[in-house]
Amino acid sequence: MTGRESFKKYHPIIAVLGMFFSVFGRKGNLFLLKGFRHTSGKVGLVLRYVFLKNAAEFVGENVSVQPGVYLLNVQNLHLGNNVSIHPMCYIDAKGGIKIGNDVSVAHGSSVLSTNHDWTDRRVPIKYNTVQLEKVIIEDDVWIGCGVRILAGVHIGSRSVIAAGSVVSKNVASNTIVAGVPARMVKTI
């Protein structure tokens, strides 16, 4: 049975769990999401989905957050349908992150929506202001393992980001990008 089929089959139970845990509010669900970050198996997948749905800006159907994923500032996180986020990923949505439908984020990847400013020379860089820049990942994108997506990037639909790439600029639709920094390899 595929993940989509399992989600459809158990959707009534998941919906009841969602309503039950909604009484804890956004903060309570965020606390539970962190507490069940490393819970394995189907129970962990379902609970993380329920807690994230109750805490995030928006979460579509059939969203899989695997164990060991670090999600920060989820109140600014928008996830479409059929999104999978694999182990050891780090996603900080402080500046806003929108991920479309049918997106897979492979293990060990990072998506950041903040960046340090370094213009105030009177203050060490790490204490300069933080810039918030929204990240948009459109539908049907495959993000390979160990990818770094930096603040302000817009990734077009039906794109592939090769393993180990650092994406610091926008990615056009229907392309494969690779490298540090990521550059277009070919159109698809």
For 8-17, 22-31, 128-137, which range has the lowest pLDDT when averaged over its residues? Answer: 8-17
Question: How do strand 183-187 and strand 175-178 relate by DSSP bridges?
Answer: antiparallel
Q: In Å, how far are 43, 113, 116 from 124, measured between CA atoms?
A: 45, 21, 11
Rounded CA gap, 2 and 110, in Å?
26
pLDDT tens per residue, range 6-18: 888 888 899 999 9
Q: Which of 78, 107, 116, 154 is catalytic?
A: 116
Examine the pLDDT at 3 and tell me if it is beyond 90: no
Does 86 participate in catalysis according to the annotation?
A: no
Residue 145 is predicted with a pLDDT of: 98
Sequence-distant (≥ 6) Cβ neighbours of residue 114 within 8 angstroms: 92, 94, 95, 130, 131, 132, 133, 151
CA atoms of 21 and 3, how far apart (whole Å): 23
Q: Which tokens hold the place of 43?
A: 């129970």
Alpha-carbon distance values, 106 to 19, 116, 126, 142, 165 (Å) = 30, 26, 29, 8, 12
Q: State phi, psi for 26 to the nearest 5 degrees.
A: -60, -45
Q: pLDDT band for 70, please (50, 70, 90 cuts).
A: very high
pLDDT of residue 8: 85
68, pLDDT greater than 80: yes
Q: What is the distance between the terminal CA atoms of the chain, rounded to a whole angstrom? A: 30
The per-residue pLDDT for 2 is: 80
Confidence of residue 4 (pLDDT cuts 50, 70, 90): confident
**What integer pLDDT is reported at residue 9 of this predicted model?**
87
The pTM score is 0.94
